[in-house]
Structure 1
Amino acid sequence: MEGSESEAAFNSLNLNPQLFINDVLNIADDLVDDAFDHFRQQASTSLKIEGTDRAQDLSRGVDIIRKKVQSDLDKKLAVWEQYCLDYVFQVPEGFDPSKNVCSFQCIDAFSYVLIHTPTDEPPVDASLCQNAIVDTDLDARLDLLRNELTEVSKENAALNREIQALEGQSVSRDRCSALVNETLQQYDLNSYHENFQEMVKTASELRMKVGKLQNEKMEESKRRKIDWINNAHRDPSVTEIRRGFYGAKLEDLEAFIAHKKNM
């Protein structure tokens, strides 16, 4: 910050940010000292070791803890100090306190409250700073953005309702599809059962017809045999032939051969 535009601006107002930071650091150190002194006294009184060797041991232990706490606190305060110098006490580029009444009065009020340095200027009028930062165009754009955001929120709500309605329809369609599939499965099962029963019935009828046909053939064969036996005009030689040549006489064989030659 040294030699910067911010330093020049604060110097023109008789302000020194580094003095303010140093005061804060000194106050923090004083608070730590007072806290550990009080802790040592309370511990010595509670343990009743005042004026003994144990009092020295207590002091050494408290000092060790204090150094640890002080070291951590110093690191954090160093970061805070650098942040203040880099950001808190940095003024915008081209800042001129003599031309910016609001900024001048705000900084003057800051010095009055924090550093307790009296000034010749009257207390800051907050309305001056407020009026200085009012931007009509910016407010209009913000209002427009708010209105657009409201419209988008309404459209989003409508889309959410449509999505919920579509999800409900999808659930209904899925339920209907499940019912249809279940019905088709039941229908296929019934069709298979009916086809199987039809096959069993057809096989049974086929067996009956085959059995009936066999019976008819057997009866026809018996009938032919009976008709042949009862036929008075049948050829005796044929009868002998049907009986076979086993046990036939020579005369019978000669008669059979002669019969064949005459045919």
Structure 2
Amino acid sequence: MEGGESEAVFAAFNLNPQRFINEVLNAVDDMLDGAFDFFLQQATVITGGGTERTEELARGVSSLRHLTQAVLDKRMAIWEKYCLRHCFAVPEGFVLPKAKESSGDSLSIQKGLSDPELDAQLESLRENLAAAGKKSAELHEEMTLLEKQSTLSCSYDASVADALQLFEENPVHDMFQEIGKTALELHHKMVQVKMKRWEDMEQARVAKIHNSSREQPMLHDTGISARLEDIEEVLSILRSK
């Protein structure tokens, strides 16, 4: 497409390729000027302020500047032509959209952006995200509470274990075991005494029915002597403990 038509197309989109190229060229020139100005300042420092040597270095820097500027101008001119012919060239057959079509497209775009179904989906996603965040906070609180409970439980178990260890190491534990053993022996002996008394009473009752009155005191005396013997045996168990 010819230059005039290309410029019209770019102007329709508020674009100016030539202005962009000119700004790039000016920026390159500024960089080149700044670089060689710095070289001239360093030349004065290197020569120590001597007039002859400073002038010689200045002439050398100026020659290099002109040589560099000439080469750079050629390169930048080639770059400018390339940009205008290829980078900023409008394809053949390109037609600008009409105003009505443009407005219609913008309306369709706005309609697409304001789709109620899409808005509802976005709102649902926001609500789900908020609910998930709330649930995550609740789970975090529960985990913190469980960690505290676990710490307290471990501390309690450790305290109980320490108390049991102290109790087992204490000689009082042996004394309680001995008392328990003695109590079992006494209980067993008391059961035997009770059974023996019941047998004596049964024998006395039978003897009272079937035997004469002369034999009853003898059986009665036997029961009393048996009980005294049992009592003495219980006392001997207690003394031995």
Which one has a bigger Cα radius of gyration?
1
* TM-score between both structures, scaled by the size of structure 2: 0.41
* TM-score between both structures, scaled by the size of structure 1: 0.38
